[in-house]
Structure 1
Amino acid sequence: MDRPTPPDLHCEAGGARRWLRHLPALLGLVLMVAAIGVVWHEVRHLHMADIRQAMAGIPSWQMGLAVACTLLSYFVLSFYDRLALIQVGYGHLPFRRAAFAAFCSYVLSHNLGFSAVSGAAVRYRLYRNWGVDSFAITQIIAFCSATYLLGAAALIGAVLIWEPTMLPGIGGHVPSGLLAVIGLGLWGAVALYIGLAFRLPSVCVGQWRVNLPSPRMALMQTFVATAEVAATASIAYVLLPVGVGMDFGSFLAIYIAAYTAGLVASVPGGLGVFDGVMLLALGPYMQAPRILGVILIFRLLYYIIPLFVAGLMFAGHELFLRGDAALARKNNANLSGTAAVARRPSQVVRESEATFSVAVATGTVSLCGVLLIGLVLFDHASGQSMLPDDLAGVLHLGGTYLLSLLGVALISMAIGLSQRVTLAWRGALALLLLATVLTFLRGNAMFVPVVLGLSTLFIAPYRACYYRHARLLSEPLSTGTLLSLLLLLGCVVALATRDDLSASWWQVVFSSSISGAARWTVALAVLLALVIVGRLLWPARVAVSPWGEDALRRYQTLPHALADMNSFQPEGYVMGEAGEAMIPLRALGGFLVGLGDPAGGETDSISAIWRMRDLALQQGLKPAFWCVGEPFLRIYDDIGLTIWPVGDESGLSFCYPSADIGLASQHARLYREQCMADRAHPSS
């Protein structure tokens, strides 16, 4: 039976819709710029010593309460996934697995921003390993997102009704009656959701029946989400000075406003936006150093430490999968060919790396870069050096400047890591090792080389994640690349030939005692070097080859090739990095559609999927995959696509961007109609 050609159902958006599509990004940019202005206005006269003193002044019992609230927050958060598993019929899975999936996925979304709020890639990786089918995972992700929205609507509504004056920026300028009406509207939306549970037990989407939450489940969703937000706000609230004159309800209003602003801005962790709103709202109640101290401790407890913990836990899980799979292969080899072999969970999931590993490695390297850039603020290397006095003096004098530059280099490596570039992985390892040795020899506080060393150990095992070639190494030496290398060399020379190396580069830029020309030279050299390194580490452009008889013959020699590929009417194809896998493709409207799964070896097939995604972005199109099977569903999820099962005995799926999932329903219907027509009128 010939598979039908994917229909072109995409219509380009008109001018107004095109502008509306960019409105969230524009709003986020405005919020971020405004937040930077607020933060700068509040802290321009502060010294780091003031903030350190404020942090040191927080009693140990308050720190203990903050840690307890952090544990409570993540414990409550685990019920998002627990309720979702019960809802989709997988309540038999142990609670510890739901807690593990929730912790890893939400730590990722907390640190990457609202675009990853569901932690879809992490959930897909874990739940597929535990035997949950793809459509159930899609429902779990939707359920968790709905749970969060219910809690947010309930709490924001309460704030608008009872504490509208506490909202920074709008509390004293927008009529309280209008805010109360908006709050009642949000409560009405929550009530409507719960009310629908009484009248609408399920809905049909194509041939699939989706069971909606019962009234009891809807109430539990709302309760869990509100409790989680309240517990998270408590982390910062218990750190406030005793007798600050603010009750928890008022602080909760400020926290929700700050957190919501961070979500709207889509900045990772709400960085800058959350802090600016908190500074603005808490300013009348306490001094800026104490506010910043509270924010820093809150970020440490709720964002940074969980990120490292989740990374180590997930790395351990991946190592278990590999060890378990290796043991299974060894046992299977010792059994006769007719013996029945039970499949281990790790054999069900492909052993390719998850997006989570890359995302956490990127975040870890970025944080290490920020640590080195800001090292001079809290650690002046006053400990005992491991070197002779003369050499220790030289290293102490120039080490601050060098480490701050290494921090910038690590951030540029993180850009390459996010794109899975091999050269960036190698560069990050080398820079982390160098920074670990330097901070240890200089006598910095022991936690600094320990953190850098652990970060090195964390990203080292994931070499398989970084398979893409950098533009610098894979493309011919063009005039642009040569010019970039020369400019980078000039930046290095400009930064290395400074007379005074006792301060970090950013201290030089903001120092009023240094000439303007020297300050501008350092600033431009650092910025230009960052841009150039990022450009050189960017993946090479993906070339598409035309489809023809030679391409068809080559395709048919590869494993897993489809016999009827010409019925798809491909226009070209993309090869994997190693040239051992091929994906036929065609452009349809605003989509670049991969036709079936890649043909070829498994490892190179994964890189072929990523290369097709890169090609789509390179051409300004959206990636999609038509009629794919089970083996690579997790990879399609990794690249940000939503999996939509066909719903028949074929076991095939369509993979589309989530914003265009409505097309999948239409494509699935047309696919089934074509299949029925083929059965009714089989070709001779």
Structure 2
Amino acid sequence: MSAAASIAGAMAWGRAHRRLLPILAALAVAMLGFSALFTLLHSVRPRAIRQAFDALSAAKILGALALTAASYLLLTLYDGFALRVLGKRLPWRTAALASFTSYALSHNLGLALLTGGSARYRVYRAAGLGGGEIGSVIALASFAFWNGVILLAGVAAATSTQLSPALGWGLSLPWLHVAGLVTVTLCLVPPLLRHFGLRAIEIGGWRTPLPGPAMSAAMTLVAALDLAAASAALYILLPAPDPSAWPLFFLGYALAIIAALVSHVPGGLGVFEAVVIAAVPGDKAQLLAALLAYRVIYYLLPLLLAALLLAWHESREWHGQAKELAAAGQSLLRELAPPLLAALVFAGGLILLLSGSTPADAARMHDLKHLLPLPFVEASHLAASLSGTLLLFLAPGLLRRLDGAFVATRALLVAAILFSLAKGFDYEEALILTGIAAALQWSRPAFYRQTSLIAAPLSTGWIAAALTAILASVFAGFFAYKHVAYDSSLWWQFSLRGDAPRFLRALFGIAVLLAGLALWRLFAPSPRAAPSEAIGFDALGSALALADQTDAFLAFTGDKRFLLADEGDAFLMYRVESANWIMMGDPVGNEARWSDLLWKLRERADAAQGRLLLYQIGARCLPHAIDLGLSIVKYGEEARVDLADFTLAGPQAKTLRHAERRAVEGGANFAILPAIAVPAHIAELKAVSDDWLRAKQQREKAFSLGSFDPAYMAHFPCAVVRMEGRIIAFANILATPNREEMSVDLMRHVAALPYGVMDFLFIRLMEHARAQGYRRFTLGIAPLAGIDGRKLAPAWARGAAFLFRHGEMLYGFGGLRSYKAKFATHWEPRYIAGPRGMAFARSMAAVHRIVSRPPARKQAGTAIAALV
């Protein structure tokens, strides 16, 4: 076979297994980390690690706890400073809740955008921040963190009095000092950029202002103090920490942090420990003991605290006048409960696996033999390991708020508590599992989705995290029993001190369980989605009555399917094109149902082996899109007019006044046809529409726009402009029942249109909307607007910006935005959320096909005249 054919075959295999490749990559990196750790600890006996762990004094542990508390307190200031840079004044407790939950999740699981980013989105959206502002908070917090790493690493290198063999790389000590000083100067880059005129960085439509020199210095100082506290929490756990050796220690710590982040291994498990042990001189057994204690103190305890505080808030009874305020707080906390408890249950599963892979306490096993027979102990050990494995794979179901995941997890936790006691009186482990079970039970209302747990798909990130956790337990077992002589007889040794045989049998049980799950998913009949039940327009009435955006009424175009909430007060509309499941706009109706509807659509698409894409969603839908694991791209901006501020007075409205005057002088008359009267004028309206299509050399669009269809037009009132009794322009009116928003969909006019008529039409419509008590008028979306394709922006952003500037021959991007800007008082971003990589391009090609395809009405129903 030729080299070209081999490469082509490899590429084809990669495309066919694109979901498998990230999992294999994460596992490969994790295996490298554990292999390096095993090599570094080759001469270390497990007993020495246990002795070093037991030797940790209460003073050291209390000191590490205090430094951990200081680190997390300083972490909350990241968000506080970021909000000040953005000019947003929020209470400290709001920023503290966002940052603490975000970091507690991302420190333990990695998957920073899915876990920590989602937590921030939920907190800040409830506080009134927009999607772009939340993205800026995350960017500024990251800026502070990395500036702190650069500053502290530079200072450590410049002041270090010794070299580590692992970090020397042939450098002499003077050169290390020079490298440190050069590194420190990098902290001056952001203030210098601002000094030379760069006030903000815009990438892909996200605009993040650069902090001024004073604010930049404050943020960097806070980050440096945070990193100093976090590293000191590990440093004081060492046997005899020497303050003069701290700079060298911090260099190893910083390198470990960077390696853990770059590796994308969940929580940096194995990678962080391997780099610290390689880079920091000292007794390796004592280093590993300190690292294990640090994992518990800095990672697991904050996660447990966050979940327990959350559960306490969930179950707390509020009284008196604070009841309504508390309800809002409870609603927010309930949104945060699933990701926190998913991480906590995942940690519980990891604890069970690690406990099953390491030797039991001899004294406790001696006491246990008087209470339980040996077969019961052996069975409990195996059952505890299998329970831990299942908890790893149930955790994503909690993130998705599945009722079945809650019930199964609660049952497994209760069983695991009993198994922990029965396999070796492991009461510490049982107490941790009890705390997790209590937090889960107290947050019961957060898990309301009665969706099949078995059919729920597992994301790539969660599969990689679960397999990495199992790999960690395998490493721990083989390291703990590396001096055992492995032979076939070991499998059949049953005794209270038979820790190694129990580990092997548990490992075999886990392998069988994983193989069974994989084969069951592989050979199970494909759960392709059955044809959805036809939902008539009448069934959408309750949800449309709650709509606060007029694009909800695109439901009447007749080219969409609907997914209706069980309660009937919310729905989403979508279209299936080949393997692409494309949702149009935000879900409609009760926002509390949005998450459930989106996950149901996600699961249907996955069952049909399809790709999900959310088209033209708003900022309110972004947290849900992140939860779904989708990639976010800015599509454009929607022109909105605050009707209370709309006026024809002032120099900015000069062109509008001139257009209105010319239209009136030409004999233009404005009128509104009620929906019931539209069918009587449909022939005249169609003549105008046909003339417009011929003049524009276009054909009807679909999906994201209405088309001239008599059944569609009959649902809505229609604004018309007449001259000499003949209709020369029209626009059908979409309006929400709560009078929040009015807009138009179809806008058509005759080819020979007198000057100013369309401006006249919009002016009269806005005046009519204001007189009817509507709050805003929307002029629709300007595609690709607001996307700044700078040099460092992603390729799609640079391409979109190029099209916006130079694509007028293909589509009037700039002209459309300029026209709408005559009326608009502000612009709201709209986004597309879809799969990553080339799959996104294929989904967008499917969107183009369904938007450009002439519509074929498939729905039938009656108009809901009361809504419009």
TM-score (norm 2): 0.59
Kept after mapping to 1: 8 A contact 2:121/2:134: yes
Q: Report the CA distance shift for 1:301/1:87 in structure 2 as closer, same or farther (over 3 A).
A: same
**Which residue does 1:225 correspond to in 2?**
223
Helix, strand or coil: the match of 1:89? coil
Q: Counterpart of 2:219 in structure 1: which amino acid? A: Q
- Residues 1:469 and 2:465 are matched in the alignment: no
> Contact (CA 8 Å) 1:508, 1:514: kept in 2 or not?
no
| Alignment equivalent of 2:600, drawn from 605, 611, 615 | 611
| Residue matched to 1:527 | 511
Specify the SS of the correspondent of 2:574. strand
From the superposition, tell whether residues 349 and 229 of structure 1 become closer, same or farther in structure 2 (CA, over 3 Å): same
Partner of 1:635: 624
Give, in whole Å, the separation in 2 of the partners of 1:542 and 1:352: 35
What is the letter of the counterpart of residue 219 of structure 1? A
Cα shift readout 1:574-620 (whole Å, capped 9, x = no counterpart): 55688875422357999864212223555543222123445666756
Does the 8 Å CA contact 1:203/1:211 hold for their aligned counterparts?
Answer: yes
Equivalent runs, 1:291-440 vs 2, <5 Å: 291-319=287-315, 344=325, 346-347=327-328, 353-354=334-335, 356-375=336-355, 377=358, 379-380=360-361, 382=363, 391=372, 395-396=376-377, 398-440=379-421
How many Å separate the matches in 2 of 1:384 and 1:510?
Answer: 20
SS at match of 1:58: coil
1:624 aligned partner, one-letter code: L
Indicate conservation of the 8 Å contact 1:233/1:255, yes or no.
Answer: yes
How far off its partner does 1:393 sit? Answer: 5.7
Distance 2:293 2:451 in 1: 39
Please state whether the residue corresponding to 1:292 is helix, strand or coil: helix
| Deviating more after overlay: 288-297 vs 516-525 | 516-525
- Of residues 90, 95, 98 in structure 1, which corresponds to 2:92? 95
Structure 1 residue 270: deviation in Å? 0.8
Q: CA deviation at 1:259?
A: 1.1
Matched to 2:135, the amino acid is T
Q: How far apart are residue 400 of structure 1 and its match?
A: 2.7
Change (3 A) 1:153 1:593: farther
What is aligned with 2:613? 623
Amino acid at match of 1:598: P
Measured in 2, the distance between the counterparts of 1:54 and 1:318 equals: 40
> What SS does structure 2 have at the residue aligned with 1:624?
strand
- Mapped to 2, the partners of 1:401 and 1:214 lie a distance apart of 58
Partners of 2:24 and 2:174 in 1: CA distance: 29
Whole-Å separation in 1 of the counterparts to 2:529 and 2:639: 34
Q: Which moved more, 1:291-300 or 1:662-671?
A: 662-671
Q: How many angstroms apart in 1 are the aligned matches of 2:395 and 2:201?
A: 44
Find the aligned partners of 1:104 and 1:409 in 2 and give their Cα distance. 25
**Partner residue of 2:529?**
543
Aligned residues: 617
Deviation for aligned residue 1:264: 0.6
Correspondence for 1:142 among 127, 139, 142: 139
CA–CA separation in structure 2 for the residues paired with 1:75 and 1:678: 46
Q: Does 1:456 align with 2:448?
A: no
Unaligned runs of 5+ in 1: 1-13, 330-343, 476-502
Deviation at 1:144, TM superposition (A): 1.1
- Report which of the two structures shows the higher radius of gyration computed on alpha carbons: 2
Cα distance, 1:635–1:103 mapped onto 2, change above 3 Å? same
| Whole-angstrom CA distance in 2 between matches of 1:568 and 1:184 | 65
Select which of 115, 122, 140 maps to 2:119.
122
Q: Distance in 1 between matches of 2:483 and 2:529?
A: 42
Take 2:311 and 2:570, find their aligned partners in 1: how far apart are those partners? 28
Whole-angstrom distance in 2 between the partners of 1:133 and 1:374? 42
Deviates more, 1:512-521 or 1:292-301: 512-521
Check whether the contact 1:366–1:414 (CA below 8 A) recurs between aligned residues: yes
Give the match for residue 235 of structure 1: 233
Q: 1:447 aligns with which of 423, 428, 435?
A: 428
CA distance in 1, matches of 2:483, 2:321: 54
Deviation at residue 304 of structure 1 after TM alignment: 0.7
Query: Taking structure 1 as reference, are residues 143 and 171 closer, same or farther at Cα in structure 2, changes over 3 Å only?
Result: same
Normalised to the residue count of structure 1, the TM-score between the two structures is 0.73
Moved more, 664-673 or 417-426: 664-673
- Distance in 2 (CA, whole Å) between partners of 1:381 and 1:243 is 31
- Cα separation, 1, equivalents of 2:18 and 2:185: 26
Specify the SS of the correspondent of 1:559: helix
SS of the residue 1:307 aligns to: helix
1:583 match: secondary structure: strand
1:648 aligned residue (640, 647, 667):
640
Deviation at 1:515, TM superposition (A): 4.2
Deviations along 1:273-316, one digit per CA (max 9) or x if unpaired, are 0011122223x521x22111010111111001111001112333
Q: Which residue of 2 aligns with 1:489?
A: none
Q: CA RMSD in A?
A: 5.3
Code of the residue aligned with 1:608 in structure 2: it is L
Q: Distance in 2 between matches of 1:663 and 1:104?
A: 34
1:444 CA drift (Å): 1.6
1:194 aligns with 2:174: no
Structure 1 residue 153 corresponds to structure 2 residue 139? no
Cross-structure match for 1:110? 107
Q: Give distance in 2, aligned partners of 1:622 and 1:154.
A: 43
Please report how far the alpha carbon of residue 218 of structure 1 lies from its aligned counterpart in structure 2 after TM superposition. 1.1
Question: Does the aligned pair in 1 maintain the 2:135–2:206 contact within 8 Å?
Answer: no
Cα distance in 1, alignment partners of residues 172 and 578 from structure 2: 47
Q: 8 Å contact 2:82–2:140 — kept in the other structure?
A: yes
- The one-character-per-residue Cα deviations of 1:611-662 (angstroms, maximum 9, x if unpaired) are 34456667564633414475x5543454456596746347899999x97994
CA distance in 2, matches of 1:325, 1:672: 55
CA distance, structure 2, for counterparts of residue 156 and residue 388 of structure 1: 53
- Secondary structure of the residue aligned to 2:349 is helix
Q: SS in structure 1 opposite 2:616?
A: strand
Distance in 2, Cα, partners of 1:464 & 1:70: 29
- 5+ residue gaps, structure 2: 1-10, 458-476, 493-500, 642-740, 742-775, 785-792, 806-811, 824-868
- Please say if residues 386 and 509 of structure 2, whose CA atoms lie closer than 8 Å, have aligned partners that are also in contact: no
Q: Determine if the alignment matches structure 1 residue 553 to structure 2 residue 537.
A: yes
Tell me how far apart the structure 1 counterparts of residues 451 and 320 of structure 2 sit (CA, whole Å). Answer: 29
460, 470, 488: which one aligns with 1:514: 488
User: Residues 605 and 611 of structure 2 are in contact (CA less than 8 Å); yes or no, is this contact kept in structure 1?
Assistant: yes
Q: Is the 2:639–2:821 contact (alpha carbons within 8 Å) kept by the matching residues of 1?
A: no
8 A contact 1:31–1:261 mirrored in 2: no
- Quick one: distance in 2 between partners of 1:204 and 1:43? 46
Q: Percent identity?
A: 24
- Structure 2 CA distance for aligned equivalents of residues 117 and 604 of structure 1: 20
Shift of residue 79 of structure 1? 1.2
Question: Relative to 1, partners in 2 of residues 1:574 and 1:149: Cα closer, same or farther, differing over 3 Å?
Answer: farther
Q: Shift of the alpha carbon at 1:525?
A: 4.3
Instruction: Please name the residue that 1:584 is paired with.
Output: 573
Deviation at 1:114, TM superposition (A): 5.8
Aligned partners of 1:164, 1:577: CA distance in 2, in Å?
68
